[in-house]
Amino acid sequence: MKGKRFYISFGKDKIAADIIGTSTPSVLCLHGGGLDANRSRFQLIRQQLATNGVSSLAFDFVGFGESSGEISAASLSSRVEQVKTIINTKHFKQPPSIIASSMSGYVAIKSAESQKIENIILIAPAIYTKKSYKVLFGPEFTKLIRRPDSWRDSDAWKTLSNYYGNLLVFEAENDQIIPHEVIDLIYDSAQRAAFKRRIVIKSATHPLIAWINKHPSHRKLIVDEILRLIYSPAS
C-alpha cells in the first residue's frame, strides 16, 4: 500500500508528505532525529492502521528524506512549526492524533501547547532541556542535550501537566539512549490526561521504530494498542 505523495510549502522549503488510507487522515506520524531518519520508517505501522480504517499522514522534516532544506538550518522549534503547518492544512481531521518517535516525542508534546491534540502516542520518546529549543541543530545543540540529566530542565513537564487529551507511551526495555527516568517523568507529569497508558516493549532497543519493523509480533501489539486508543480510549 503506497502513500499518496505531495508537497507542502514551509517558508522557502518544500515538505514531502504522503497519506496512507482511503479517508481524510486523523493521525500524523513524526519521525526521529537520526541523520537517516525519514517518514518511511512508519510505513508498516501505517499500512496496518489503514487496514483497520485509520488513515495517516507522514512527512519528512526539513533537511530530511525527500524534503528540501538543510539540517543545520533547522531546530526543535522549527519542527514544531512544521507540525503546526501540516495540521492546519486541508489534509487533516481535527483534532488529530500524533504518533511520535524519539526526538519527535518532545516535538509532539510542544505541539500540544498551541494545537488541540486528541491522542499523543510516543514511541521511545526523547525529552530536551528548554535551553535547546531554538538552537540550530549542530555542535551547540549537541553539547546542550548531552549534558548529564539536561532533560530535567525541560518545559515538556509543564506542558504535559496541562494536557487533557489521551497519552500512550511505548518504552523500549533495553533502550540505550533514553533513560527510563525520562519515561517515568513523562507518565507522571500527565496528571490531567483523560487517559494514559505506559507499555514496555520487551527486549526492544532504541530506535524502537526500526526495531519493531523487524519484529512483526511486537509491531502488531503496538498497532493494536494505538487502535484501541483511537476507537475506545477508556478501555
Mean pLDDT of the chain: 96
Length of the chain: 235
For 190-220, write each residue's pLDDT tens digit: 999 999 999 999 999 999 999 999 999 999 9
pTM of the entire predicted model: 0.97
Can you give the pLDDT at residue 91?
A: 83
Name which of 26-30, 156-160, 170-174, 228-232 the model is least confident about: 228-232
Under a CB-based contact definition with an 8 Å cutoff, are residues 80 and 104 in contact? no
- State pLDDT tens for residues 27-68: 999 999 988 999 999 999 999 999 999 999 999 999 999 999
Confidence of residue 1 (pLDDT cuts 50, 70, 90): low
Using 50, 70 and 90 to split pLDDT, how confident is the model at 235?
low
CB atoms within 10 A of CB 79: 23
What local confidence, expressed as pLDDT, does residue 233 receive?
73
Residue 84: which of 10, 19, 14 has the closest Cα?
A: 10
Cβ contact 117:165 at 8 Å: yes
Cell 486508543 locates to 229
**Sign of CA pseudo-dihedral 205, 209, 214, 217:** positive
pLDDT of residue 90: 84
Ramachandran angles phi, psi of 172, nearest 5°: -80, 125
Give the domains, in start order, of the chain with CATH numbers.
4-231 (3.40.50.1820)
Q: Give the least confident one: 45-54, 76-85, 173-182, 225-234.
A: 225-234
**Whose grid coordinates read 500527565?**
190
Q: Which residues pair with 119 in a beta bridge?
A: 97, 166
pLDDT digits (tens, 9 = 90+) for 71-111: 999 999 999 999 999 999 988 889 999 999 999 999 999 99
Confidence of residue 172 (pLDDT cuts 50, 70, 90): very high
User: Does the pLDDT of residue 2 top 70, yes or no?
Assistant: no
Residues forming a β-bridge with 20: 56
Rg of the chain, C-alpha, whole Å: 16
Residue 35, pLDDT score:
87
**Contact status, residue 70 vs residue 63, Cβ threshold 8 Å:** yes
85 and 144 in contact (C-beta within 8 Å)? no
Whether pLDDT at 3 is above 80? no
